[in-house]
Amino acid sequence: MTEKTNDTIKLKDSERQPCEVWTRVMGYHRPVQSFNIGKKGEFEERKYFVESKCGCSASK
């Protein structure tokens, strides 16, 4: 039987790569970093659509 170890890789801040977030706006994919202050604020306030089951039943 082998024992697994959970080795975590730790990087210095200078070795890390920043994550770039993109979103679709008006049919185009754009990086959020390139937005102006107003658009960045709108992006932060967005409510994302979550599909859930409907509470009503359809009768035939």
Cα–Cα distance for residue pair 51/41, rounded to 1 Å: 25
C-alpha 21 chain-centroid distance? 7
With the C-alpha atoms ordered 45, 33, 38, 29, is the resulting torsion angle positive or negative? negative
The vertex-46 CA angle with 44 and 52, nearest 5°, equals 140
The residue extents of the domains of the chain are 18-45
**Cβ pair 58, 47 in contact under 8 A:** no
Q: What is the pLDDT of residue 45?
A: 92
Q: How far is CA 16 from the centre of its chain?
A: 19
In this predicted structure, the answer to whether residue 55 has a pLDDT above a threshold of 90 is: no
- % residues pLDDT > 90 (the chain): 23
Q: Is the pLDDT score of 46 beyond 60?
A: yes
Q: Check pLDDT > 60 for residue 60.
A: no
Give the whole-number percent of the chain exceeding pLDDT 70. Answer: 80
